[in-house]
Amino acid sequence: MPGDDVEHTPPLASGPRPGRATATDVAALAGTSVSTVSLVASGKTKGRVSSSTIARVASAIETLGYVVDHTASALARGSADVVILVAPDLSNPYYGDVVRGIMSVLGDRYQLLLSVASPGVQPDASVVGRLTALRPAGLLIDAPSAEFLAALPAGPATVLLDAPGSARGDAIVNYDLVRGTDDLVDHLADQGHRVLAYLDSSTGTETFALRRSLIEAAAARRGLTLLGGVASVVDVSAAAAAVTAAWPEWRASGATAVLCATDTQAYGALASARLHEIRVPEDVAVSGFDDLPSSVVTAPGLTSVALPGTSLGRTAASRMLELLGAAAPPPANAAADDDDDDLTTRLVIRDSTRHVVS
């Protein structure tokens, strides 16, 4: 009789083991080997385990609350079910959207590990070493600098987010920034602005270089003058200080609009304007990028190029699942072709630019 040759399982009288149940515990309870437990736990039973054994093991797993030890599994398989997101900064609420998009696609299959740098500082090579020591299955790199990319190891699957201009062999997911920036400059030109000032981000990531050059191109197309050379980190106070310092020169050059690389910096511009009794939009128009939730309630409401962060996250995560050979969750709408998510940026016009320059 099958089952008779099973040694009497160690008396459970000794109480639940301190700590987690192991595959050995499950095997003992189910009367099988650890190999079989592993097969069942990882779902690789197709044509290899009888259904009665599967049932027995499954119930033992259930009873003991067994969860595969991630560390041991990672060591044995050579890589962990962990995807690491490297992002420059978390204080920008915009990243919350990206993270949410990523997690919605990754689901339970992979853990998302976050590696954040200090504001304005890019993670360096030593970070990369410690990161890969965790044996991640994949690396998601948001808004990287060129130096950081150069230090990246070749090992794990890598997807770059918001990294225009990177020519590595990696998968890259970028916003379509052209639409939003063109619309922004067109809108300002239509309002009668002739001289625009640009507050850049000093973070030194490619996405900001692209934003600047797209605005330059659009300004040239419309015959507008663009004043550059001013930058700050992505922080309200720092941006306010930079704007305050730049103001005399901008004024002298006849600038009537301040375009900022991020909404956060635009908040600084608004604060600086308020402080110096410069009226927005009457004296100067102000715009940003990101369309943060709070941009609805600033004084005045902030015109902004909206970046679809959740779409970026979802698309990047889907790409990652492809690279990892895991099936991406089926798209909700079968109409879409490859990308279900629209990465087009979109201009949101609010009162901060609603004034016609005479």
Partner DNA sequence: CTGAAAGCGCTTACAG
DSSP letter, residue 225 = E
Cβ proximity to its own copies: between 135 and 194 the closer is 135
d(CA 313, CA 161): 8
Sole binder of its own copies in the list 10, 16, 155, 165 (CB under 8 A)? 155
Instruction: Rule CB under 8 A: say whether 225 interacts with its own copies.
Output: no
Sole binder of DNA in the list 9, 16, 48, 253 (CB under 7 A)? 48
Cβ proximity to its own copies: between 31 and 156 the closer is 156
99 binds, among DNA, its own copies, none (CB under 5 to 8 A by kind): its own copies
235 binds, among DNA, its own copies, none (CB under 5 to 8 A by kind): its own copies
Cβ proximity to its own copies: between 45 and 132 the closer is 132
Sole binder of DNA in the list 9, 10, 16, 33 (CB under 7 A)? 33
24 binds, among its own copies, DNA, none (CB under 5 to 8 A by kind): DNA
Using the rule CB under 8 A, give the single segment among 3-11, 177-185, 198-206, 293-301 that binds its own copies: 293-301
Strand, coil or helix: 157? strand
Sole binder of its own copies in the list 133, 332, 335, 356 (CB under 8 A)? 133
d(CA 183, CA 312): 20
d(CA 127, CA 6): 50
Q: b/e map of 98-108 (b: 16 or more CB within 10 Å)? A: bbebbbebbee
Q: Compose the 5-34 pattern: x for residues touching its own copies by CB under 8 A, - for all others.
A: --------------xx--------------
Find the binding residues for its own copies in span 182-221 (CB under 8 A): none
Radius of gyration of the chain (CA): 27
d(CA 213, CA 185): 12
Using the rule CB under 8 A, give the single segment among 110-118, 184-192, 207-215, 220-228 that binds its own copies: 110-118
Cβ proximity to DNA: between 77 and 274 the closer is 77
d(CA 316, CA 2): 50
Residue pair 135/80 in contact by the 8 Å Cβ criterion: yes
Instruction: Rule CB under 8 A: say whether 103 interacts with its own copies.
Output: yes
d(CA 182, CA 4): 77
Give the phi and the psi of residue 349 in degrees, each rounded to 5.
-95, 125
Helix axes 236-252, 263-275, angle to 10 degrees: 60
Cβ proximity to DNA: between 11 and 19 the closer is 19
Neighbouring C-alpha atoms within 13 Å toward the C-beta of 319? 22
Instruction: Rule CB under 7 A: say whether 299 interacts with DNA.
Output: no
SS (H, E, C) 179-215: HHHHHHHHHHHHCCCCEEEEEEECCCCHHHHHHHHHH
Residue pair 268/246 in contact by the 8 Å Cβ criterion: no
Residue pair 148/124 in contact by the 8 Å Cβ criterion: yes
Beta-strand relationship, 346-348 and 157-161: unpaired
Sole binder of DNA in the list 58, 68, 113, 151 (CB under 7 A)? 68
Instruction: Rule CB under 7 A: say whether 63 interacts with DNA.
Output: no
Using the rule CB under 7 A, give the single segment among 23-31, 252-260, 325-333, 334-342 that binds DNA: 23-31
Sole binder of its own copies in the list 185, 189, 226, 292 (CB under 8 A)? 292
Q: Which tokens belong to 20?
A: 């987690």
Place of tokens 């920008």: 92
Sole binder of DNA in the list 9, 42, 91, 104 (CB under 7 A)? 42
Instruction: Rule CB under 7 A: say whether 34 interacts with DNA.
Output: yes
Cβ proximity to DNA: between 68 and 146 the closer is 68
Residues that bind its own copies (CB under 8 A): 19-20, 65, 67-72, 74-75, 80, 82, 89-93, 95-97, 99-100, 103-104, 108, 111-116, 118-119, 126, 129-130, 132-135, 155, 235-236, 264, 267, 270-271, 274, 292-301
